Amino acid sequence: MNTGQKNSPEQYISDTVDLSVDLGGLRLKNPVTAASGTFGYGREYEPFADISRLGAVIVKGTTLKPTPGNPAPRIYETASGMLNSIGLENPGIEVFLDIHLPYLLERGVQVIANIAGNTFEDNETLGAMIRRQSGVAAIELNISCPNVEKGGMHFGTDPDMVFQVVNAVKKVTDLPVIPKLSPNVSDITIIAQAAQAGGADALSMINTLMGMAIDVKKRKPVLGNIFGGLSGPAIKPVALRMIYQVHKEIDIPILGGGGIMNVTDVLEFIMAGSSAVSIGTANFVQPGISVQLINELADYMVANNVAKISDLVGAAVYK
Amino acid sequence: MSVSQMQGMVIENVQKNSGWYEMEISIPSFAPCARPGQFVHIKTGAGSDPLLRRPFSICDFDKDAGRLFLMYKLVGSGTKWLSSVASGSYIDIVGPLGKGFTCPDPGARVILVGGGIGIAPLLYLARRLTERNCRLRIFYGVEEYHQLSALNKFERLGVNIDVATHDGSAGFKGLVTDLFEQKIVSEKADVIYTCGPEIMMAKVAAVAAQYQIPGELSLEEYMACGVGACLGCARKLKAEDDNFVKICKDGPVFSFSQMKFDLN
């Protein structure tokens, strides 16, 4: 008889190193999350990974009413990156709460809802609909989508608006509120400070960088929506720089991401000041990457005598 | 359907007279239930450029031998990388993905219409249909006879193909849709399947509608995730539709009745 108990990867990890992090009152068992819009509602990735092992799944951005999204083509590959102009296509908050959320909760997934109201009032309404009672762990407030005419980035580039919308959502929900910041500003620290003053529990950064591509044969823009958001390894240096800058100026934790493809990238984001990381475009390339990175992060910690991953947060930041 | 991510070993990767490539891959763990019309998503290149996977129709699949067969043409950086892969190398494959062609009743009378590299998914479909004792009639259009290098694979199935070439270098001179339109009168088909340029599939669907024969076609679009998560490969099947379908998950196969072509 085999007397040796076989441990699950999770047990193995928790016995040897501490991967858990605090994200503004939200406890994550490890710092790896799946970024909103790149992971659907989780189920699409179940054939490739045990999604319940993730620190959290940040689901597709939710509007109040169903949103059809932008005209095709919506995506285009660029050098080490991709442009997207999905336009927040989603079935609306009710379908999310009634169908997708229970599915994820039944599987033991920690869910962060991403809300993306078209108006100030929509964000308030959405915030009020998503409370602790619903089973959601936190709200990521999308004030940075570059692909919608109303709301989106419009909120995220004006410090007064950022303060007000964060403050309004904070008042109506009992969950941690994590605004997702737009990189399409000249000084991101001003926006970050406004979000913090508005009561943000943590900051998510960065959303995509606005860009475009031209079809030279047709002599017109490639994307149906003309502009799109650039993601992938191409934006990683920009994301790191912004997280580094913001970490120096604010006191709340950062959920960092932008082109993370491997464990070295994860470590760079943590050392630049991210308490947790979000994996986005990499999910499209390696559908099991997010869970794989948890294991690789644990391996790194064991090999480098890092007992707690939280000890590395901001390790490279000269304050 | 059991989709997974696997390493497949390239057995052969050669450029044919057509200019197109044929690739045979040993992939024993590939889902035996893979259907004609489904696709695989392949990581082309080891680094981040090209970044995204590339979708390829399953051209043929031998589940007993665990062999996957692809046909592709050089389009951009992804297929350029793929064309350089040597025999014995491993490539990273996700699949089978998407919705394939629906299976007609055993013994059904079936017409297949392929154009150019769009013939690829029709080979595996023809194999499955002959296993179901369907009566097959295949129309295949290319620009000139060199592009007919896939023909012998159909002949090995024991099915007849009517060929059309633009330059008249083999078979009917002209468009395959004209050939199809001439022949359909006497065919009494139960169902039609087509894959090729959209302008060709639009014509096939229009002729099929005249004769009230149902059918299916296969679409393509830039894709990122391939699994229905990113919502990137969206398109409206009819201009008046409110919603966008996702080619990767709702398709790539759609019925003629779902579509209204806008070929401007």
Domain boundary among B48, B70, B97: B97
Q: Token digits for B116? A: 């150019």
| B87 and B132 assigned to the same domain | no
| B189 and B116 assigned to the same domain | yes
Q: Among the options A145, A162, A267, A272, which is catalytic?
A: A145
A295, with CB counted inside 10 A (0-12, 13-18, 19+), is: middle
Selecting from A40, A68, A233 the residue whose C-beta is nearest the C-beta of B48 gives A233
Asked if B90 contacts A115 with a C-beta cutoff of 8 angstroms, the reply is no
What pLDDT, on a 0 to 100 scale, did the predictor assign at position A3? Answer: 38
In this predicted structure, the answer to whether residue A151 has a pLDDT above a threshold of 60 is no
Answer left, alpha or beta for residue B226, where phi above 0 means left and psi between -120 and 50 means alpha: left
One DSSP character per residue, A138-167 reads EEEEE---TT-SSSTHHHHT-HHHHHHHHH
| B42 and B62 assigned to the same domain | yes
The dihedral over CA atoms of A309, A314, A315, A319, expressed in degrees to the nearest 10, equals -150
pLDDT band at B48 (very low <50, low <70, confident <90, very high): very high
Mean pLDDT of A207-236: 96
| B44 and B127 assigned to the same domain | no
What pLDDT, on a 0 to 100 scale, did the predictor assign at position A319? Answer: 63
Distance of CA A91 to the CA centre of its chain: 20
| B43 and B66 assigned to the same domain | yes
Between chain A and chain B, the number of residue pairs with CB atoms below 8 A apart is: 98
B210 in contact with chain A, both atoms CB, cutoff 8 A: no
CATH code for position B10: 2.40.30.10
| B117 and B209 assigned to the same domain | yes
pLDDT band at A152 (very low <50, low <70, confident <90, very high): low
Domain boundary among B181, B203, B218: B218
In chain A the domains, ranked by start, together with CATH numbers, are 9-65+89-208+236-312 (3.20.20.70)
In this predicted structure, the answer to whether residue A10 has a pLDDT above a threshold of 70 is no
Cis peptide before A221 (omega within 30 of 0): no
In this predicted structure, the answer to whether residue A26 has a pLDDT above a threshold of 80 is yes
CA distance A235 to A81: 8
A182: closest CA of chain B, how far (Å): 20
* Domain ranges, residue B65: 4-97
What pLDDT, on a 0 to 100 scale, did the predictor assign at position A120? Answer: 86
| Mutation target among A63, A74, A279 for the B interface, most CBs of B within 10 A | A74
Domain boundary among B68, B97, B126: B97
One DSSP character per residue, B78-93 reads HHHHHHTPPTT-EEEE
Q: Pick the closest to residue B78 from B47, B54, B46, B48 (CA basis).
A: B54
What pLDDT, on a 0 to 100 scale, did the predictor assign at position A6? Answer: 45
Q: How long a stretch of residues is chain B?
A: 264
What pLDDT, on a 0 to 100 scale, did the predictor assign at position A198? Answer: 97
Contacts of B227 in chain A (CB under 8 A): 40, 44-45, 47, 287
Q: Average pLDDT, whole number, for chain B?
A: 94
- pLDDT tens column, B183-195: 988 888 999 999 9
Percent of chain A with pLDDT over 90: 86
pLDDT band at A5 (very low <50, low <70, confident <90, very high): very low
Cβ contact, residue pair B51, A73, below 8 Å? no
pLDDT band at B150 (very low <50, low <70, confident <90, very high): confident
Cβ contact, residue pair A86, B4, below 8 Å? no
Q: Is B71 helix (H, G, I), strand (E, B) or coil?
A: strand
- pLDDT tens column, A241-296: 999 999 999 999 999 999 999 999 999 999 999 999 999 999 999 999 999 999 99
| B88 and B145 assigned to the same domain | no
Confirm whether B71 is domain-assigned: yes
What pLDDT, on a 0 to 100 scale, did the predictor assign at position A1? Answer: 39
In this predicted structure, the answer to whether residue A14 has a pLDDT above a threshold of 70 is no
CA distance A285 to B224: 8
pLDDT band at B222 (very low <50, low <70, confident <90, very high): very high
Mean pLDDT of B57-66: 96
CA distance B101 to B219: 12
A318, with CB counted inside 10 A (0-12, 13-18, 19+), is: exposed
Confirm whether B165 is domain-assigned: yes
CATH code for position B203: 3.40.50.80
State how many domains chain B has. 2
A156: closest CA of chain B, how far (Å): 23
Hey, which residues 191-250 in chain A have their CB within 8 Å of chain B?
Answer: 232-233
Helix residue spans in B157-232 (DSSP H): 176-184, 198-210
CA distance A112 to A233: 24
| B69 and B133 assigned to the same domain | no
| B78 and B145 assigned to the same domain | no
Confirm whether B51 is domain-assigned: yes
Selecting from B43, B229, B234 the residue whose C-beta is nearest the C-beta of A38 gives B229
Percent of chain A with pLDDT over 70: 92
B236 in contact with chain A, both atoms CB, cutoff 8 A: yes
pLDDT band at B198 (very low <50, low <70, confident <90, very high): very high
pLDDT band at A131 (very low <50, low <70, confident <90, very high): confident
Segment holding A10, helix H or strand E: helix A9-16
In this predicted structure, the answer to whether residue A7 has a pLDDT above a threshold of 50 is no
Count H helices and E strands in chain A, helices first. 11, 16
A285 in contact with chain B, both atoms CB, cutoff 8 A: yes
Confirm whether B260 is domain-assigned: no
- From residue B144, alpha-carbon distances to A234, B75, B118, B126, B164 in Å are 42, 19, 15, 23, 9
| B45 and B128 assigned to the same domain | no
Confirm whether B169 is domain-assigned: yes
In this predicted structure, the answer to whether residue B263 has a pLDDT above a threshold of 80 is no
CA distance A145 to A34: 17
| B90 and B130 assigned to the same domain | no
Percent of chain B with pLDDT over 70: 99
pLDDT band at A133 (very low <50, low <70, confident <90, very high): confident
Respond yes or no: is residue A250 known to be catalytic.
Answer: no
- pLDDT tens column, A48-86: 999 999 999 999 999 999 999 999 999 999 999 999 999
In this predicted structure, the answer to whether residue B51 has a pLDDT above a threshold of 70 is yes
| B71 and B146 assigned to the same domain | no
CA distance B254 to B251: 6
What pLDDT, on a 0 to 100 scale, did the predictor assign at position A146? Answer: 62
Mean pLDDT of B225-240: 95
Confirm whether B200 is domain-assigned: yes
